[in-house]
Structures are given as C-alpha cells and as structure tokens.
Structure 1
Amino acid sequence: MNVQSATEKAASTAHTVADGVLDSAKEAVNATRRAASNTLDKAEASVDSLKDGVNPAIDDLAARAQELANRGINYCAETSERARRQLNQVADTTTRYVVDQPGKSLLIAAAAGAAFATIIFLSRDSSARRRDY
C-alpha cells in the first residue's frame, strides 16, 4: 500500500465518520421534531375538546406551548446545522493534515488501530474469563 492510497483511505474514513455523525444528528433532530409534533397534536386535541368552556388563560397557555415547541424545533435544527458545519470543518482539516503529513497520518492511524484492537482483545478476553466463573 503506498502513501497516496493510505492518505486517500484516511481521508475517506474521516469523511465516513463525519457523515455518520451527521446522520445521527439529523436523526436526533427528526426524532425531536416528531416528539414535539406528537405533543402539539395531543395538546391541540385536548384544547379542541375543551374549547367550549375554555377561558382566555388556557388559550394563552396553548399559544405559549406552541411557541415553545416551535422554538425547540428551531433550536434543534440550528444545532444540527452547526454540528454539520463543525464536522465538515473537522473532516476538511483532517483531510488537509493527511495530505500535508501522509507519513505521520499513517503512523497515527496505525497506532489508533493497534489501540482499538488491543481494547477489543482485552474486552473479549475479560468476557471470556467472566463466563468461565
């Protein structure tokens, strides 16, 4: 394996990791949106069923709940966008580092892989010992 292919592989891995984190952030935002939407639907149904006897204070509370839910959704969307920008920046920085320092990048990747493999080996060995008891 030459340095160029190792560099491309490291850059590809960095982008893959960044994409995975972005997908997780998007899913979290979508889950929050769904939860907020379900809560709003339930609140709206409750308000509709009590509408005949509703006083102005309840209408005000419903409007505040709607506003709070909208703010929450907007905050999650902004946070997701900010996370996406930061992850893209990290991926770009990593790619530049790999291109500028291919030898160091390869050594860092090898050390990280060895550390990860050691952790996996030790955790499996530990699990096997626990089963023996």
Structure 2
Amino acid sequence: MKTALSPRLNLMRRFPILYGLAWALLWSMVGILIIALWAHLTVMTPTKVVIGAYGVHCLSAILGGFVASRAANERGWFQGGMVGLLYALIMLLLSLVVYNAFPTDASGLFRVLLLTLMGAFAGVLGVNTRKET
C-alpha cells in the first residue's frame, strides 16, 4: 500500500544522498543539543562531553547512511558511504569556521574514514531492509 508523500519530501527522496545528509545533520543537531543540555544540568567532565559528541556524530552518520540507502533502493554501500563522507567534510568545515583550524592530522583523517565506513555499513543494512515490490 503506497502512501502519499508531500511533494517536497518526494522531491528530496529523488536525491538520496542529500536526503540522508539532511537526516544526518538533523540528528546531529538534536543529539548535540541533548548533550549540551545534559552537560548544563549535570556535572559532566569535558572528556565525557567529547565522548558524547563522538557518539552523536557516529550515530548521525549511521542514520543518514541508512535512510539514504533505503531511499535509493540500490548500491547501499555507496549511498551510505557518500553520506558519511559528506557529513564528515561538513563537520571539518565547521571546525575550520569555529576554531580557525583544519584538522588534517592523523586523528582528523581517521574521523573522516570512520564516519565514511559507518555510513557505508549502515547503507548496506538499509538497502537490505527494504521490501521488494
């Protein structure tokens, strides 16, 4: 049974990588707001805040890759990997704007690789959870 989607959502699903990237950015904003609120209301060490931020970024890349591959219905690893890569590059550009530094050291490149692989893995899972019609 098909459901009617709004025209904007239907248009966004035509571009699955952008659709997944929008979901990843949405969930990262929600997650970072939750971490910030939690840190404000409780006593959290800076180390725990950093760990929470890494968790939010990883979860965002996973959810974005999953959603993108379900929208694409094919090549899930590619769709998810591209979402993870673009999400990581956006986060690098944000760090350039905020901190006036572009982290291209080993840890920065590892984060890009990790988010790309997480998105690709989620893309494989997402494309295989889609029902055949």
TM above 0.5: no
Tell me which of the two structures has the higher relative contact order, counting C-alpha pairs closer than 8 angstroms and 6 or more residues apart.
1
TM-score norm. by structure 2 comes to 0.36
Greater C-alpha radius of gyration: 1
TM-score norm. by structure 1 comes to 0.36
Higher fraction of helix: 1
